[in-house]
Amino acid sequence: DVKVTQSSRYLVKRTGEKVFLECVQDMDHENMFWYRQDPGLGLRLIYFSYDVKMKEKGDIPEGYSVSREKKERFSLILESASTNQTSMYLCASSLYGGPLSYNEQFFGPGTRLTVL
Amino acid sequence: AQRVTQPEKLLSVFKGAPVELKCNYSYSGSPELFWYVQYSRQRLQLLLRHISRESIKGFTADLNKGETSFHLKKPFAQEEDSAMYYCALLTGGGNKLTFGTGTQLKVEL
């Protein structure tokens, strides 16, 4: 059973603070993802990593950075939190696949971040 | 560019009624599509994928390339089907998903 865990379920931060969201998976997956989930906007990909120290921008990377120093851990960093980053953040992982693969993404429980 | 469209934000049906959640996609390659579901206070999880041609919890979805659609259907809605449903398209060389905006299904008694 794949387990994807996120460091916090709820987080409250102040504008301008540096925020770290941590995600850990225990199934040796190559791919890891950070999404934000907002009502009416669905899931939007922030960043994606397919290997240690490798990262790729998603659809909305502005204001975020990521770190992948170990295969099982993928961190999302908000360098200077702003109120428009208040959202639900979801982490996911999957196996690395080729063009014809259909790899399932396994999701963490989410972190609800509020920036005041 | 790839895009997934779910036109309904909210779909409300009565228990026992048929359900159809709409999904349309735009993609230049050969599409591989999925439905993910999120029940209240649970994590997002895969419901079904078109390539498997399976029925999960009574739900089916057929890929129609002519209409670029992948609608999710169930003949008789159950109360436990109430959830948020996302349609997703596989992209990025088979490694990324592009999600739709989601449809909240509410099954009323």
| Residue B95: predicted pLDDT | 81
Q: What is the rounded CA–CA span in Å between residue A66 and residue A76?
A: 5
Q: Which of A25, A105, A112 to mutate to test the interface with B (most CBs of B within 10 A)?
A: A105
Q: Which residue of A has its CA nearest to B87?
A: A42
Q: Which residues contact B19 (CB under 8 A, 6 or more apart)?
A: B11, B13, B72, B73, B74, B77, B81, B105, B107
Q: Name the band, by pLDDT with cuts 50, 70 and 90, for residue A24.
A: very high
Residues of B whose CB is below 8 A from A41? 101
| Residue B71: predicted pLDDT | 97
A to B CB pairs, distance under 8 Å: 61
Average pLDDT, chain A: 92
C-alpha closest to that of A3 among A113, A109, A112, A111: A109
Residues of B whose CB is below 8 A from A106? 45
Q: Count CB neighbours of A101 within 10 A.
A: 15
Contact state of B99 with A42 under an 8 Å Cβ cutoff:
yes
| Residue B68: predicted pLDDT | 94
Residues of B whose CB is below 8 A from A45? 96-98
Strand B24-26 and strand B83-91: pairing?
A: unpaired
Q: What is the rounded CA–CA span in Å between residue A43 and residue A60?
A: 11
| A98 at interface of B, judged by CB pairs closer than 8 A | yes
What is the pLDDT averaged over residues A95-104?
A: 68
Distance (Å) from the C-alpha of residue B40 to the closest C-alpha of chain A? 11
Tens digits of pLDDT across chain B (109 residues)? 789 999 999 999 999 999 999 999 999 888 889 999 999 999 999 999 887 778 889 999 989 999 999 999 999 999 999 999 999 998 877 688 999 999 999 999 9
Q: What value, to the nearest 5°, has the Cα angle with vertex A41 and ends B64 and A9?
A: 115
Interface of B with A (CB under 8 A): 6, 9, 32, 34, 43-46, 49, 51, 86, 90, 92-102
Q: Which residues contact B41 (CB under 8 A, 6 or more apart)?
A: none
Strand partners, A114: A12
Strands (E), chain A: 4-6, 10-13, 19-25, 31-38, 42-51, 54-57, 65-70, 73-78, 87-94, 106-107, 111-115
Residues of A whose CB is below 8 A from B63? none
Q: What is the rounded CA–CA span in Å between residue A47 and residue B61?
A: 29
Q: What is the rounded CA–CA span in Å between residue B56 and residue B69?
A: 19
Instruction: Indicate whether A2 pLDDT > 70.
Output: no
| Residue B22: predicted pLDDT | 98
Contact state of A94 with B95 under an 8 Å Cβ cutoff:
yes
Measured in degrees and rounded to the nearest 5, phi and psi for residue A39 equal -55, 130
Distance (Å) from the C-alpha of residue B61 to the closest C-alpha of chain A? 16
| Residue A1: predicted pLDDT | 66
| Residue A102: predicted pLDDT | 59
Structure tokens at B1: 């560019």
Contact state of B32 with A102 under an 8 Å Cβ cutoff:
yes
| Residue B11: predicted pLDDT | 97
| Residue A104: predicted pLDDT | 86
